[in-house]
């Protein structure tokens, strides 16, 4: 089939990758200045790691009045950057005392608490900036999009490449037909850079048994020393608040807090959840990768507790208004698509993270996670010329936003200032939610692929209904909880009937 003649007409009436509207190239929304936004009261929840830069950047445009982190040392250190913020280790205490005094929240907690923290703010009519992936499970992503739309608030996910001019222009060029009909999409990453794989958990009982088996003479001393270490750590960590709505488990130094949580099914979403909201961002927008119908994966093996050290995933997307059906492949742990795919377009040294979209006229290749750079190539490697006068919308800029991460915050604050939720490219209802849903479907397939080197069960999916249509035929238990999770420990459960 040739490129559909309705492509141009379709683009004129559609949103450009979820942005909400299109304007002429080079135009921007009204610039937001820090002085105009300082009246906005902001709370930062999760202020260590990525949360540190998130709340500091938010502090450029808003007045940070409250901070929350389960690590008391992190909390005290971050508080020094602001003017006497109220500090908490449990976000529920912050909300109980400060909800009527804040306008917006920045949520940078581990994945398993994104939804409960963000949902409560949205229900109260507060604007939200939440880190990627938006949620740990598919249904939660749909739920946050629903709440954001229902309450008319401004939202943005922390996939900061969304505000890059290069990324937005690449999306527009591909949708305009620069590489022809879309035939295939390949995405790959160097993640995980944290520990993943079977048999990684540890408890005092397991530790004691191992020590006694290795050297009974020193076992009692080693056990006593480990208990002291744990007690000291827990004086600075609110472990119950960190666990949140997840199943209870013992704190153990170095394998959960502060960074290793990404590799656990209960707390994170693996390499796919960590990086696909970045690396798949451009392909998702360019190819309208909504509503996949099937997905299958293979892995290096996992134990339904920790993610596998390596996975490969294949998604099937049906045809839409302007492109045919397309397969999207995902590779992690520095694995890549077949070398012949790169050789065909003269790419001699593909990077360890990137994406390539194959079309009938050539390819679009991004050698990084954010499409900060991209190359349009024909077979043999010759550069393709961009289509002139293609419409796309620039993100706002100001004297602070040279860093694309800061610019993502500026777009969010600008939307708040103008009361236009659609100004945010990665807003929850139109882009961030559906993108997260698509990505996390891959983890359903990984879940059903616990045996090393063997493809798992094929997941058949009805995206609009949030249903695994062949659930009754699957032999792997627990799939449904990765669609609609069950919260524990007294946390408010989601009323899934609201989404019907």
CA distances 242 to 2, 70, 113, 158, 184, Å, are 53, 6, 8, 21, 40
**Residues 170 and 210 placed together within one structural domain of the fold:** no
Alpha-carbon distance 403 to 399, whole Å? 10
**Residues 169 and 246 placed together within one structural domain of the fold:** no
CA atoms within 13 A on the CB side of 329: 14
Q: Using the 3D structure, point to which of 375, 407, 432 is the last residue of a domain.
A: 432
**Residues 310 and 336 placed together within one structural domain of the fold:** yes
Angle subtended at Cα 422 by Cα 373 and Cα 483, rounded to the nearest 5 degrees: 80
**Residues 378 and 461 placed together within one structural domain of the fold:** yes
Alpha-carbon distance 345 to 356, whole Å? 10
pLDDT-derived band of residue 38, with 50, 70 and 90 as boundaries? low
Q: Is residue 325 part of a domain?
A: yes
**Residues 59 and 156 placed together within one structural domain of the fold:** yes
**Residues 179 and 78 placed together within one structural domain of the fold:** no
Q: Residues of the chain with pLDDT > 70: what percent?
A: 92
**Residues 308 and 403 placed together within one structural domain of the fold:** no
Alpha helices in 280-355 (DSSP H): 281-287, 339-343
- Both tokens of 191, joined, read 């993640």
- Give backbone dihedrals phi and psi of 462, rounded to 5 degrees, phi first: -110, 100
* pLDDT value of position 72: 97
Average pLDDT, stretch 337-355? 97
CA distances 304 to 195, 289, 484, Å, are 15, 28, 17
**Residues 170 and 290 placed together within one structural domain of the fold:** yes
**Residues 287 and 367 placed together within one structural domain of the fold:** yes
Q: What is the dihedral of CA 368, 369, 375, 380, to 10 degrees?
A: 70
Q: What is the dihedral of CA 324, 330, 334, 340, to 10 degrees?
A: -30
Domain enclosing residue 36, as ranges:
16-163+395-432
pLDDT-derived band of residue 11, with 50, 70 and 90 as boundaries? very low
Alpha-carbon distance 438 to 222, whole Å? 46
- The answer to whether the CB of 106 falls within 8 A of the CB of 58 is yes
Q: Residues of the chain with pLDDT > 90: what percent?
A: 91
**Residues 354 and 447 placed together within one structural domain of the fold:** yes
Range of lowest pLDDT (66-75, 132-141, 210-219, 340-349): 210-219
* pLDDT value of position 338: 97
Average pLDDT, stretch 205-210? 96
* Nearest residue to 188 via CA among 365, 324, 432: 365
pLDDT-derived band of residue 39, with 50, 70 and 90 as boundaries? confident
Specify the CATH number for the domain of residue 280.
3.30.360.10
Number of helical H runs and strand E runs in the chain:
16, 15
**Residues 314 and 400 placed together within one structural domain of the fold:** no
pLDDT at 27 over 90: no
Q: What is the total count of domains within the chain?
A: 3
Average pLDDT, the chain: 93
* pLDDT value of position 31: 38
């Amino acid at each position: 089939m040739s490129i559909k003649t309705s492509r141009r007409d379709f683009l004129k009436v559609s949103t450009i990758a979820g942005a909400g509207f299109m304007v002429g190239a080079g135009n921007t929304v009204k610039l937001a200045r820090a002085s105009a936004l300082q009246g906005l009261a902001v709370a930062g929840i999760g202020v260590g790691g990525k949360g540190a830069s998130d709340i500091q950047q938010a502090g450029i445009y808003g007045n940070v009045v409250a901070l929350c982190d389960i690590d008391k040392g992190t909390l005290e250190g971050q508080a020094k950057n602001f003017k006497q913020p109220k500090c908490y280790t449990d976000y529920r205490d912050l909300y109980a005392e400060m909800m009527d005094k804040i306008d917006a929240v920045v949520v940078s907690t581990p994945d398993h608490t994104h939804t409960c923290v963000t949902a409560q703010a949205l229900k109260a009519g507060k604007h939200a900036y939440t880190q990627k992936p938006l949620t740990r499970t598919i249904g939660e992503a749909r739920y946050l999009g629903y709440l954001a739309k229902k309450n008319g608030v401004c939202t943005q996910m922390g996939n900061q490449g969304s505000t890059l001019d290069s990324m937005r222009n690449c999306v527009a060029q591909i949708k305009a037909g620069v590489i022809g009909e879309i035939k295939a999409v390949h995405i790959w990453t160097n993640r995980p850079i944290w520990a993943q794989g079977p048999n990684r958990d540890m408890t005092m009982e397991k530790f004691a048994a191992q020590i006694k088996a290795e050297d009974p003479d020193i076992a009692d001393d080693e056990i006593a020393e480990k208990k002291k270490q744990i007690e000291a750590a827990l004086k600075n960590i609110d472990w119950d608040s960190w666990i949140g709505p997840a199943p209870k488990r013992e704190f153990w130094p170095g394998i959960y807090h502060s960074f290793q949580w990404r590799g656990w099914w209960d707390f994170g979403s693996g390499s796919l959840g960590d990086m696909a909201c970045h690396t798949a961002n451009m392909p998702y927008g360019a190819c309208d990768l909504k509503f996949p119908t099937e997905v299958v994966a293979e892995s290096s093996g996992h134990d339904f507790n920790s993610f596998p050290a390596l996975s490969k995933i294949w998604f099937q997307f049906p045809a839409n208004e302007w492109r045919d059906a397309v397969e999207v492949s995902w590779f992690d742990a520095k694995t890549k698509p077949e070398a012949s795919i790169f050789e065909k377009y003269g790419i001699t040294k593909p990077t360890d993270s990137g994406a390539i979209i194959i079309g009938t006229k050539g390819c679009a290749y991004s050698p990084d996670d954010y499409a900060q750079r991209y190359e349009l190539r024909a077979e043999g490697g010759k550069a393709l010329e961009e289509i002139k006068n293609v419409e796309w919308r620039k993100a706002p800029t100001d004297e602070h936003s040279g860093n694309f991460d800061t610019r993502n915050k500026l777009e969010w604050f600008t939307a708040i200032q103008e009361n236009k939720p659609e100004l945010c490219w990665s807003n929850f209802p139109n882009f961030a939610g559906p993108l997260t849903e698509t990505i996390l479907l891959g983890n359903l397939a990984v879940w059903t692929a616990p045996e090393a080197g063997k493809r798992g069960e094929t997941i058949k999916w009805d995206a609009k209904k949030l249903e695994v249509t062949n659930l009754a035929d699957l032999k792997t238990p627990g799939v449904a909880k990765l669609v609609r999770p069950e919260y524990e420990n007294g946390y408010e459960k989601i009323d899934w009937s609201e989404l019907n």
